[in-house]
């Protein structure tokens, strides 16, 4: 008595608990599906597919169209950073998140989220948390932004490659030593194949004031020597 409505057995629509109605303006889908409601989404049916039109700020910023396929509600995006990371986008009960099989991200135990300001990676990875690092994706690459004083002093950019989390630096002293920088579970350290350093059994660390070499080498300890770069 209230309206003309369409009953559907369309799998994607049924999964989303959607009733279809026709109003004076358009064909629309009325839904109580929590994910869709949270995102301020109006649902429409076009000639090609069921699609969701969203004014959700985070989604609009990323150039994302929302679709319903037979398996799930997903977001299709041409956002270059997301495409580079091989990320399908999904909506769960709590938030809009990006699920990824990108090995570097998976290794770091990182969940990817979209907030109102940017696409960011939230991580509980102990080494990253210790360094006060926020992870972001820009149009060119995945990078880690940090306010960690030692890293900032060293002009270090932090990257994630397929093998590990590493720090790329143009700091002259470090470059001279041929040192790649890594983060392990205990601390930020510099791993080096520099023959002098390796021979002396010296781990290399970054503290708040400088890059320094910590040595348990007996001869060095006897001389009360601190090594700096």
Q: Centre a 10 Å sphere on the Cβ of residue 23 and count the other Cβ atoms it contains.
A: 10
Phi, psi of 137 (to 5 degrees): -120, 125
Are 41 and 28 spatial neighbours (Cβ–Cβ below 8 Å)?
no
CB-based contacts of 137: which residues, under 8 Å, 6+ apart? 81, 82, 85, 119, 120, 121, 143
- What percentage of residues in the chain have a pLDDT greater than 90? 0
- What percentage of residues in the chain have a pLDDT greater than 70? 0
Q: Is the pLDDT of residue 229 over 50?
A: no
Question: Domain-by-domain residue ranges, the chain?
Answer: 138-229
Q: Is the pLDDT of residue 35 over 50?
A: no
pTM of the full structure: 0.31
> Could you give the CA distance from residue 120 to residue 108 in angstroms, rounded to a whole number?
14
pLDDT in tens, 146-197: 555 555 555 555 554 444 445 555 555 556 656 555 554 445 555 555 565 5
Are 158 and 165 spatial neighbours (Cβ–Cβ below 8 Å)?
yes
């Amino acid at each position: 008595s209230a309206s003309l409505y369409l009953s559907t057995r369309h799998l994607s629509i049924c999964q989303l608990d959607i009733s279809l109605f026709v109003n004076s303006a358009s064909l629309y889908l009325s839904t109580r599906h929590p994910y869709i409601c949270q995102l301020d989404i109006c649902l429409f049916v076009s000639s090609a597919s069921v699609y969701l039109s969203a004014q959700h700020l985070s989604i609009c910023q990323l150039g994302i169209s929302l679709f319903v396929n037979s398996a799930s509600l997903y977001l299709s995006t041409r956002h270059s950073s997301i495409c580079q990371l091989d990320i399908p986008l999904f909506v769960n009960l709590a938030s809009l998140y990006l699920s990824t099989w990108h090995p570097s991200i998976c290794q770091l135990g990182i969940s990817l989220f979209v907030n109102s300001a940017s696409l960011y990676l939230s991580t509980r990875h102990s080494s990253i948390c210790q360094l006060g690092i926020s992870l972001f994706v820009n149009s060119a690459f995945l990078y880690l932004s940090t306010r960690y004083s030692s890293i900032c002093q060293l002009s270090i950019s932090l990257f994630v490659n397929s093998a590990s989390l590493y720090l790329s630096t143009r700091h002259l002293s470090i470059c001279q030593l041929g040192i790649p920088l890594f983060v392990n579970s205990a601390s930020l350290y510099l791993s080096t194949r520099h023959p002098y350093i390796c021979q002396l059994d010296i781990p290399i660390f970054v503290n708040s004031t400088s890059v320094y070499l910590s040595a348990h080498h007996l001869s060095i300890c006897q001389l009360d020597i601190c090594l700096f770069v």
